[in-house]
Amino acid sequence: MKSFTTASPKNFAYLESLGASKVKCFDYRSPTVAEDVAAGLKSSNGPLAGVIDCTSVTNAVQTCASILSLSNNADKIIATVLPPPETITNARRIFGLSLKENEVGKAIYEDFLPEALSKGTFIPAPEPMVVGTGLEAMQAAFDAQKAGVSAKKVIVKL
């Protein structure tokens, strides 16, 4: 299985290191990103499981829908963290906390993840970036995010 992702070019090497040669990165700022990803999907000759929008920034779901349409995969589902526009009928909101009490959560957190972590086939990412401890460190965390920290999980210890 191959993974296709959009990211800033400065993070391509990091993302590729997480998936060895099975990751193909595309510049999310490119005006032709939908066409580029669709072409990559077509040339991969493999089945497509689906598309995930984990950012829900402006037009992200629309870009995902374009990728599916351009790669002849319009019947696939787009998973997104925010409620999708009504015009995109194949998008579904997937909220992490809602997985806790259903069969998907069990499949991920009980059946798959413990073994994958112990075997090293799942690599937790991104790396944590601890900015401080306590509520007084919250502003530093917000400042780090605003400054454009990338490929890091900003953490405040309590």
Residue pLDDT, tens place only, 93-143 = 887 666 667 777 788 889 999 999 999 888 888 989 999 999 999 999 999
pLDDT cut 90: percent of the chain above it: 49
Q: Give the H or E element holding residue 78.
A: strand 78-80
Structural domain ending residue among the three candidates 73, 94, 115: 94
Domain's final residue, options 45, 76, 94: 94
- Domain co-membership, 54 together with 90: yes
pLDDT at residue 104, as a whole number: 75
Residue 144: count other Cβ atoms within 10 Å of its Cβ.
Answer: 16
pTM recorded for the entire structure: 0.76
Q: Do 114 and 41 sit in the same domain of this protein?
A: no
* 83 shares a domain with 30: yes
In this structure, are 15 and 88 located in the same domain? yes
Q: For the CA atoms of 136, 140, 146, 148, what is the dihedral angle to 10 degrees?
A: -150
Number of folded domains that form the chain: 3
Same domain, yes or no: 34 and 57: yes
Same domain (yes/no): 44, 59: yes
Taking Cα atoms as reference points, which of 93, 4, 84, 1 lies closest to residue 40?
Answer: 4
Predicted confidence (pLDDT) at residue 26 exceeds the cutoff of 90: yes
pLDDT of residue 22: 73
Report the CATH number that the domain containing residue 51 is assigned in CATH: 3.40.50
Q: What is the pLDDT of residue 29?
A: 92
Element (H, E) at 130: strand 127-133
Q: Going by C-beta distance under 8 Å and a sequence separation of 6 or more, which residues neighbour residue 94?
A: 52, 79, 80, 81
All residues at 6 or more sequence positions from 158 whose CB lies less than 8 Å from its CB, including other chains = 133, 134, 135
| Parent domain of 106 | 97-123
- Whether 29 and 84 map to the same domain: the answer is yes
- 34 & 88 share domain: yes
42 with 107, same domain?
Answer: no
For residues 145 and 148, what is the distance between their CA atoms, to the nearest angstrom?
5
- One domain for residues 86 and 54: yes
Residues 76 and 101 in one domain: no
| pLDDT for the residue 95 | 74
pLDDT score, position 20: 52
For the stretch 83-101, pLDDT in tens is 888 999 999 888 766 666 7
Instruction: Report the DSSP beta bridge partners of residue 3.
Output: 23
Q: What is the pLDDT of residue 63?
A: 94
Q: pLDDT band for position 146 (50/70/90)? A: very high
Mean pLDDT within 49-62 = 86
Asked if residue 47 and residue 118 are part of one domain, the reply reads no
